Amino acid sequence: MNTSSDLPSVLVVDDSAFFRRLVSEVVAGSGEFRVIGSAADGVDALEKVHALQPDLITMDLQMPGLGGLDAIGYIMSEAPRPIVVVSAHAGHGSAGSIRALELGAVELVPKEDSQGGRLSSLRIAPRLLEALRAAAAADVRRLPVLARPRSSGAFASTRPAGTARRILAIAASTGGPRALAELVPALPTGLEASVLIVQHMPPGFTRSLAERLNGLSALRVVEAEEGMEVQADTAYLAPGDYHMRLVPAGGGLRLALDQEAPVWGVRPAADRLFHSVAQRVGASAVGVVLTGLGRDGAAGLRAIHDAGGVGIAQDRGTSTIYGMPGAALEAGGADLVLPLGAIADQAGSLLRELPRR
């Protein structure tokens, strides 16, 4: 039987005494984790990381003095360990959260509920504990010291590139925003292909992620909206809390969004997207399953493979968590297992060879 000292330890970092107490109550009452200490700013956090050696950290971003982003950078370079960002999703808070995930934080918990109100311990507990479980399974030692997204050196085109004739479908979860910041900017244009992305992420943050990727990429990257026509040289990111599917529209394709039941406990779910891609474009698709906890995308990647498309899984060595890619390989949908840095070039080569739909 585990004693309290055997449980993973958590350092709680937030300049708000209210949120320090709220997060600490959830962690201490979980029976799965224990609070080893708390800090009110980045400098205090760095000192306590070295003094207390916590297994996990929850980190606010907006703090006086040394803020959360700088603290994350120092921690990941000096004493890497899984960090869960607990942050506001409005305005600058959302953009800062995306940057935090690129720097090495592995999960994200909003400070507001879906109506924009301040969270109570009852409301925050499920998402926070889910994030801590995923963080505890992450191996951040595999990550480079700093995220240096690959950039094509070109600005995203605002000119419509025509109807997509090929599809690249991507699934990602824990560690995904960092992986996407390397993969998406490296994808080539001019292949009559559209990119469809499912990243498990709370509502309120996916628009900022799309904007961040758009600023790095030659592809145009947008948060998906209901009924959008699927165009070439454009990447569409499923909005938080909505499944995204590919559906026919005359001679082309469009996107459909819905809030049907979660799949594998998540919404959006990659399996919903991948199955629709397999059904609509079949042999004109490449599916990619990136880092993440669980098995979302495994059955869908197999469906793409069985429809004549090609499946790619990220390898264990470059995955923050190998759960989703490992499940995809086990399910038989992965034709190739590649390190993150090799996926863009290989996907581009495959898209050039695939038949047009």
* Segment 85-120, tens digit of pLDDT: 998 765 556 889 999 999 999 999 988 754 444 556
Beta-carbon-side half-sphere exposure of residue 124 (alpha carbons within 13 Å) = 28
Does residue 248 have a pLDDT over 60? yes
**Close Cβ partners of 139 (under 8 Å, ≥ 6 residues apart):** 320, 321
Q: State yes or no: pLDDT of 130 exceeds 60.
A: yes
Q: How is the beta sheet containing 166-172 ordered, strand by strand? A: 220-223, 234-237, 193-199, 166-172, 285-289, 310-314, 336-338
Under DSSP, the state recorded for 326 is H
How many helices and strands, by DSSP H and E, does the chain display?
11, 14
Burial, 252: exposed, middle or buried (Cβ in 10 Å; 0-12, 13-18, 19+)?
Answer: middle
Q: What domains can you pick out in the chain, each with its CATH number?
A: 4-142 (3.40.50.2300), 166-353 (3.40.50.180)
Number of Cβ within a 10 Å radius of residue 137: 16
Q: What is the pLDDT of residue 206?
A: 94
The answer on pLDDT for 216 being more than 90 is yes
User: Mapping DSSP to helix (H, G, I), strand (E, B) and coil, where does residue 353 land?
Assistant: helix
* Predicted confidence (pLDDT) per residue in 148-159, tens digit: 555 544 444 555
CB atoms within 10 A of CB 356: 10
Stated pTM of the model: 0.90
Q: 163-192, pLDDT tens digit by residue? A: 899 999 999 999 999 999 999 999 999 999
47-74 pLDDT, tens digit per residue, is: 999 999 999 999 999 899 999 999 999 9
Average pLDDT over residues 73-89: 90
Structural tokens at position 77: 């370079």
> Which is more confidently placed, 95 or 299?
299
Per-residue pLDDT at 115: 46
Active site residues: 173, 200, 296
